[in-house]
Chain A
Amino acid sequence: EDKVVQSPLSLVVHEGDTVTLNCSYEVTNFRSLLWYKQEKKAPTFLFMLTSSGIEKKSGRLSSILDNKELFSILNITATQTGDSAVYLCAVETGNQFYFGTGTSLTVIP
């Protein structure tokens, strides 16, 4: 059965901390892995990863895929209160998307 597992389920940090969110997957016919940020509305796209070992970076956020060990990490450095959200990982296979249950991040001032 195809599945995507995210850890930790929730995280509370202080502003300025660095966090690492994990996403592991077991799917057939892997095509890509996507990260989304969801606040109190629809998810917004962060990264799409298709190639192993190539880091994608956007400001304080970065992500990398290891498609040998079947996981991805999302790093957020110098966290801010605006980073508080649920971070979703999704894996696209040949015919659909599988989402993890998300990691809830709370950044305390």
Chain B
Amino acid sequence: KAGVTQTPRYLIKTRGQQVTLSCSPISGHRSVSWYQQTPGQGLQFLFEYFSETQRNKGNFPGRFSGRQFSNSRSEMNVSTLELGDSALYLCASSLGQATDTQYFGPGTRLTVL
């Protein structure tokens, strides 16, 4: 079974631009969660989508948004990029029940200049 895939793997943007990251979950998984990982803050939860609806949300500003499509693929968008948005963005998929294991993708490394 193919794992979680994320595209692109690396991205360089400048301040003020916007970016869209994509995540394809494991086949059959309906939940996709997004995380931001930085050296200073560690891994932080952004949001979770399940069956095309945002089910949970972390403490990030409204510049961070996402959506999920009917095939469970998910996109995350960050508008008006700031230098502090430079991070590894990870997505994880699961079947969707509360106790299901999450499987992480390889991440997208975003650098904001």
Task: Write the residues of chain A forming the contact surface with B, with a CB cutoff of 8 angstroms.
Answer: 31-32, 34, 36, 41-45, 48, 50, 88, 90, 92, 95-102
- A17 to B77 CA separation, bound complex (whole angstroms): 45
Of the candidates A42, A45, A98, A102, the one whose C-beta lies within 8 Å of that of B90 is A42
Q: How far is the CB of A86 from chain B (nearest CB, A)?
A: 9
Interface set, chain B 44-75, CB cutoff 8 A to A = 44-45, 48, 55-58
Residues of B near A44 (CB, < 8 A) are: 104
- Interface membership of chain B positions 73-105, coded 1 if the CB is closer than 8 angstroms to chain A and 0 otherwise: 000000000000000001000000011011111
- A104 to B23 CA separation, bound complex (whole angstroms): 28
A-B contact count (CB 8 A): 50
Residues of B near A48 (CB, < 8 A) are: 99, 101
Residues of A near B99 (CB, < 8 A) are: 31-32, 48, 50
**B interface residues, tally (CB under 8 Å):** 21
Residues of B near A98 (CB, < 8 A) are: 45
- A34 to B90 CA separation, bound complex (whole angstroms): 17
Cβ-defined contact, B98 with A45, below 8 A: no
Cβ-defined contact, B107 with A42, below 8 A: yes
Cβ-defined contact, A101 with B57, below 8 A: no
B24 within 8 A of A: no
Residue of B nearest to A50 (CB): B99
Cβ-defined contact, A102 with B107, below 8 A: no
B22 within 8 A of A: no
A36, A43, A90, A95: residue with the most chain B Cβ atoms closer than 10 Å: A43
Of the candidates B44, B48, B105, the one whose C-beta lies within 8 Å of that of A99 is B44
Q: A42-B90, A101-B42, A102-B42 are in contact. Are A96 and B101 (CB under 8 A)?
A: no
Cβ-defined contact, A99 with B42, below 8 A: yes
Q: A96-B45, A97-B45 are in contact. Are A45 and B101 (CB under 8 A)?
A: yes
Residue of B nearest to A101 (CB): B42
Residues of A near B48 (CB, < 8 A) are: 96
Cβ-defined contact, B42 with A31, below 8 A: no
Residues of B near A88 (CB, < 8 A) are: 42-43
